[in-house]
Amino acid sequence: MNLRNQWPVLPVVAGLASGLLTGCGSGSGDSGGTGSSVVMGMSDDVLATDPASGYDPGSWLLFDNVFQSLLSFPKGATEPQPELAKECSFTDSRATVYKCELKDGLKFSNGDDLTSKDVKFSFDRMLKINDSAGPAVMFPMLGSIGTPDAKTVVFHLKSSDATFPSKIASGAGSIVDHSQYDANGLRTDHQAVGSGPYKLDSFDKDKAVFSVNGNYKGTAKVKNSGVTLKFFHGDRTALKQALLDGKVDIAYRGLSASDIAGLDKQGGSKGVDVIEGTSAEVQHLVFNMKDPVAGKVGVRKAMAYLIDRDALIKNVYQGTATPLYSIIPAGIVGHNTAFFDTYGARPSQAKAAAALHADGITGKVKLTLWSTPSRYGPATDEELKAIAGQLNASGLFDADVKSVAFDQYEKDITADKYGVYVKGWVPDYPDADNFTAPFFGKGNVLDNNYSNSTITGSLIPSTAAQSDRGATDQNFGRLQNIVATELPVLPVWQAKQYAVARDGVYGLEYCLDASTVFRFWELSKS
């Protein structure tokens, strides 16, 4: 499975504000936007314009604005609401039959009617194509889809999944026009036909141009007359300069920690403002459980006792990050602080030494930490070097860092060549299930040879079947405690989202929350 993250929400900055933004749009979207158009610069590439393929932040940003799903996430919220649908609900107690009734008068941007046929086509197509870089992997539970009439869709699931509404509210649930897409193959012309607030007018390697979709019928109220998205392909310096020169109104995804900190201090004199939002993106150190060194629990525990997250945040991320002490991030229902409770926040050389001794380990532990900055941001190498320094300063480790290109990195992980490596995760939907189910058992996305029968056989199935997500706290707590004890991963940080806007640009605070939906329609410019 491809992790849905090319670079972190802010490639080199992490953290989390404690509260979520409140409020949500309501009513019918405007037939056309008002006000000025907005130009946004982004370091990420958009890897796909076809929802059956894209499974990366740039592509989902496009999907969230050009396509609609049956449900959507209101700004600042983690519970989906009807979007294309008038209403949706499970019709059985086991959460295996999910029924949606569509709104009246739905149309795609080209004027074609949007009916239940398009909904069924979109999901069937995605699953049939099953693209390796696509979101089909999110729907192993989906059995069949019925369409009793033009406005009714019934999903039959092979197993209980109370998170199914959140999954179809994500970019993976984008609905396409059945007459405009091949049922058996991906679209390759860089065009898109959806029913979202915007139309994709043009797309090339340098920019994507969006205009307001006059046929849109949904919850968004468009506050601009269009958006141009310029791609900087990872060039942070060029992105910052374009912002300062007024060539872009907004810089999103790509400025360094030092750029953010500097612009935050000097923003007034530079004519820009730094906007901070919440995020559920996380980063972990991952341990290959079959590795002769990292596979030893004493080594993993010693590292857990020695890593100083606060120092990493201060020295590498310049105070813009928040330490993470569990696999489920803060702000997500079910979060606890299992790693803080088990290993503490302050490094302990004595406890680390005791953990190694208990596992029969004497002498310095020789260890390589593997990094890939092209995927997880340019500060990743610096972060892992700092971690290696912390380990070595204890006198218990002889650690170094090696960095490789992402393609080779993934191949080497699959081949069990690495003992300790870094992985980031941008959630598909803001639920604890998305931070647990993909990470454990056979074929897990961490590819670290870890399996626990209690987690996979009991805790994950029971939480998936629980429609009251608040009632999952106890089982998710047990799961996190098991992970803290067995240590297949070591959580390091949780991200904030940042964007920097020129004076007179508004609405970004409604684009940066744990849903990971960047809402073009909230942007305006005076």
pLDDT digits (tens, 9 = 90+) for 224-269: 999 999 999 888 899 999 999 999 999 998 787 788 888 888 766 7
pLDDT at 33 over 70: no
Provide the CA 401 distance to its chain's centre, in angstroms.
26
| Contact predicate 456/271, CB 8 Å | no
- Confidence band, pLDDT 50/70/90 cuts, at residue 5: very low
Rounded Cα–Cα distance for residues 35 and 101 (Å): 34
Rounded Cα–Cα distance for residues 365 and 147 (Å): 60
| Contact predicate 401/371, CB 8 Å | yes
What are the CA-CA distances from residue 307 to residues 178, 381, 388, 394 (Å)? 52, 16, 9, 10
Q: Give bridge partners of residue 71 from the DSSP assignment.
A: 82
Question: What is the per-residue pLDDT for 253?
Answer: 80
- Confidence band, pLDDT 50/70/90 cuts, at residue 379: confident
Rounded Cα–Cα distance for residues 478 and 473 (Å): 9
Q: Tell me the per-residue pLDDT of 43-68, one tens digit each, with 9 for 90 and over.
A: 888 999 999 998 888 999 999 999 99
Rounded Cα–Cα distance for residues 275 and 424 (Å): 23
pLDDT at 309 over 50: yes
What are the CA-CA distances from residue 395 to residues 218, 242, 349, 440 (Å)? 60, 46, 9, 33
Mean pLDDT of 396-422: 96
For residue 124, which phi and psi values (nearest 5 degrees)? Answer: -60, -40
Question: What is the per-residue pLDDT for 32?
Answer: 54
For residue 377, which phi and psi values (nearest 5 degrees)? Answer: 105, 150
Instruction: Say which amino acid occupies 231.
Output: F
Instruction: Say which amino acid occupies 116.
Output: S
Rounded Cα–Cα distance for residues 348 and 354 (Å): 10
pLDDT at 398 over 50: yes
Instruction: Say which amino acid occupies 390.
Output: Q
Rounded Cα–Cα distance for residues 190 and 169 (Å): 23
| Contact predicate 228/210, CB 8 Å | yes
| Contact predicate 8/495, CB 8 Å | yes
Mean pLDDT of 13-39: 45
Question: What is the per-residue pLDDT for 23?
Answer: 28
Cβ-based neighbours of 455, under 8 Å, separated by 6 or more = 436, 440, 441, 479, 482, 483
Strand 489-494 relative to strand 322-323: parallel, antiparallel, unpaired?
antiparallel
415 vs 18, more confident: 415
Question: What is the per-residue pLDDT for 267?
Answer: 66
Mean pLDDT of 203-210: 96
What's the token pair of residue 270? Answer: 């530079």
What's the token pair of residue 49? Answer: 């314009």
Q: 143-157, 265-279, 311-325 — which is least confidently predicted?
A: 265-279
Question: What is the per-residue pLDDT for 376?
Answer: 79
For residue 340, which phi and psi values (nearest 5 degrees)? Answer: -65, -45
Question: What is the per-residue pLDDT for 1?
Answer: 34
Nearest to 488 by CA among 286, 319, 278, 226: 286
- Mean residue pLDDT of the chain comes to 90
Helix (H) or strand (E) holding 252: strand 250-252
Cβ-based neighbours of 145, under 8 Å, separated by 6 or more = 119, 120, 123, 124, 153, 154, 155, 156
Provide the 10 A C-beta neighbour count for residue 513: 26
Question: What is the per-residue pLDDT for 11?
Answer: 35
Question: What is the per-residue pLDDT for 239?
Answer: 93
Q: 120-129, 267-276, 320-329 — which is least confidently predicted?
A: 267-276
Dmax over CA atoms of the chain, in Å, equals 72
Mean pLDDT of 467-472: 90
| Contact predicate 109/193, CB 8 Å | yes
Q: Tell me the per-residue pLDDT of 321-365, one tens digit each, with 9 for 90 and over.
A: 799 999 999 989 999 999 999 999 999 999 999 999 999 999 999
Question: What is the per-residue pLDDT for 29?
Answer: 40
Q: Tell me the per-residue pLDDT of 166-186, one tens digit each, with 9 for 90 and over.
A: 999 999 999 999 999 999 999
Cβ-based neighbours of 433, under 8 Å, separated by 6 or more = 163, 460, 463, 464
What's the token pair of residue 381? Answer: 């190498």
SS3 451: coil
Nearest to 284 by CA among 309, 306, 260, 311: 309
SS3 382: helix
